[in-house]
């Protein structure tokens, strides 16, 4: 700690239940405070105290604004990535200002698309020829990180189930619905990651979004990215279901369904263990994952035996094997979530064990 910005003061007791801590006069003068002004006192997870002048707290709560120039030759995808980066950085008001005379039509459409498809709680509040303003309207308490993670999981698991239905029934509409749902999962992912970035820099934000420690942000990031990957694999299964031209025999789809259901059971247990901070439940995921992977290998061997008997089955089996890989990857991502749950809660388990010993 910088000694110029630290001081040691003695806590004094007055009355029956009040403790008083004096502040250095120099600090008060430098911060333009006076007797009677209000300050906000908060306790951090590491038991340190943070004293913030109310005027600074109001400033923190007010609009966090950024302005960036839009070049005339800036591609739409580049512009989208820039907007997402500013959103993830925690800005509440994003101004896109044309460096030349006007924002190009293709750039304007790119802004509208990224706001509509990728950014939760945002609206375009100003749209003129030379400037577009995006505002984040959703405040932190309205959608906690745990709630957003659960919604992500529900969408991703539903996508996985629907993808298998599309494969079994050769249903194009269901498959397209799965692929479109991937955008919704990505929107929740960006929203959560934005809040995690803000929480690592602000203890108050950490508490508002429902986390205990700053270190939890890393575990949540791993979990969010894992659920996002699960949705990606469901989308891939849906795409492959449309690419396989022949009807897959029922005795193969039944095996795929059984494997898929087992994979979703592992994923559900992993997410529940993470959200409930249940170390013991997370610890059991490894054995469940191994059982699913054994099932996947057995199906692979079964498909190989069919190819040896019937060369015509080669085209179907090639597509099915790719789908098996997506299901296997789903289980592996579930294992990553379970590992995050264990890393997040192992300290609590150690504390309980020490209490029992004592």
Mean pLDDT of the region 202-223:
85
Which residues lie below 8 Å from residue 18, measured CB to CB, with a gap of 6+?
none
Least confident of 16-20, 266-270, 328-332: 16-20
Q: pLDDT class for 165, splitting at 50, 70, 90?
A: very high
pLDDT at 31: 75
Compute the Cα dihedral for 202, 206, 208, 212 and give only its sign: negative
Domain range 145-345, CATH architecture: Up-down Bundle (1.20)
DSSP state of 17: T
Could you state, in order of their start, the residue ranges of all structural domains in the chain?
A: 31-61, 64-136, 145-345
Question: Cβ distance 83 to 122 under 8 Å?
Answer: no
Res 61 pLDDT > 70: no
State residue 105's pLDDT score.
93
Structure tokens of 154? 């529900």
Q: Which pLDDT value is given to residue 51?
A: 76
Partners of 123 in the beta sheet?
135
Lowest-pLDDT choice from 48-57, 282-291, 298-307: 48-57
Domain spanning 64-136, CATH architecture: 2-Layer Sandwich (3.30)
Instruction: State residue 220's pLDDT score.
Output: 95
pLDDT of 358 reads: 56
Predicted confidence at residue 354, as pLDDT, reads 61
Higher pLDDT, 319 or 9: 319
Average pLDDT over residues 72-92: 93
Q: pLDDT of 316-340, one tens digit each?
A: 788 899 999 999 999 999 999 999 9
Q: How far apart are CA 77 and CA 30, in angstroms?
A: 46
Report d(CA 330, CA 267) in Å as an integer. Answer: 8
pLDDT band with cut points at 50, 70 and 90 for residue 207: confident
- The model's confidence at residue 352, banded by pLDDT at 50, 70 and 90, is low
Q: Which of 71-75, 110-114, 259-263, 306-310 has the lowest mean pLDDT?
A: 306-310
Residue 272 has pLDDT above 70, yes or no: yes
Residue 230: predicted pLDDT: 97
Position 1 scores a pLDDT of 41
- What whole-number percentage of the chain has pLDDT above 90? 56
Structure tokens at 170: 């050769």
- Does the fold of domain 145-345 match that of domain 64-136? no
**∠ CA 348-353-358 to the nearest 5 degrees?**
125
- Is pLDDT at 151 greater than 70 in this prediction? yes
Q: Is it the case that residue 2 has pLDDT exceeding 70?
A: no
Give me the chain's average pLDDT, please. Answer: 86
Is residue 179 within 8 A of residue 114, CB to CB? The reply is no
* pLDDT class of 239 with cuts at 50, 70, 90: very high
pTM of structure: 0.80
């Amino acid at each position: 700690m910088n000694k110029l910005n630290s001081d040691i003061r003695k806590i004094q007791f007055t009355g029956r239940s009040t403790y008083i801590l004096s502040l250095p006069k120099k600090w008060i003068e430098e911060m333009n405070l006076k007797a009677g002004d209000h300050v906000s006192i908060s306790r951090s997870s590491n038991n340190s105290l943070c004293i913030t002048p109310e005027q600074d707290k109001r400033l923190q709560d007010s609009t966090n604004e950024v302005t960036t120039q839009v070049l005339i030759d800036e591609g739409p995808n580049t512009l989208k990535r820039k907007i997402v980066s500013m959103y993830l950085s925690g800005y509440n008001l994003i101004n896109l200002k044309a460096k030349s005379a006007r924002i190009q039509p293709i750039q304007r459409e790119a802004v509208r698309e990224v706001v509509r498809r990728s950014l939760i709680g945002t609206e375009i509040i100003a749209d003129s020829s030379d400037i577009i303003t995006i505002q984040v309207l959703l405040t932190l308490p309205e959608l906690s990180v745990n709630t957003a993670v659960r919604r992500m999981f529900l969408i991703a698991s539903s996508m996985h189930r629907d993808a298998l239905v599309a494969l079994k029934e050769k249903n194009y509409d269901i498959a397209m619905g799965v692929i479109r749902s991937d955008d919704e999962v990505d929107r929740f992912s960006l929203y959560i990651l934005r809040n995690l970035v803000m929480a690592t820099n602000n203890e108050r934000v950490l508490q508002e979004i429902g986390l205990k420690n700053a270190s939890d942000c890393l575990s949540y990031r791993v979990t969010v990215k894992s659920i996002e990957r699960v949705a990606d694999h469901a989308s891939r299964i849906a795409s492959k279901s449309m690419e396989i031209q022949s009807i897959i025999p029922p005795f193969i789809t039944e095996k795929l369904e059984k494997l898929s259901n087992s994979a979703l059971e592992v994923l559900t247990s992993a997410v529940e263990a993470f959200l409930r901070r249940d170390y013991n439940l997370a610890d059991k995921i490894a054995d469940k994952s191994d059982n699913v992977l054994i099932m996947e290998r057995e199906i692979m061997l079964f498909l190989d035996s069919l190819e040896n008997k019937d060369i015509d089955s080669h085209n179907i089996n090639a597509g099915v094997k790719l789908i098996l890989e997506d299901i296997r990857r789903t289980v592996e991502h579930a294992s990553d979530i379970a590992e995050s749950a264990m890393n997040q809660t192992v300290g609590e388990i150690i504390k309980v064990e020490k209490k029992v010993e004592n």
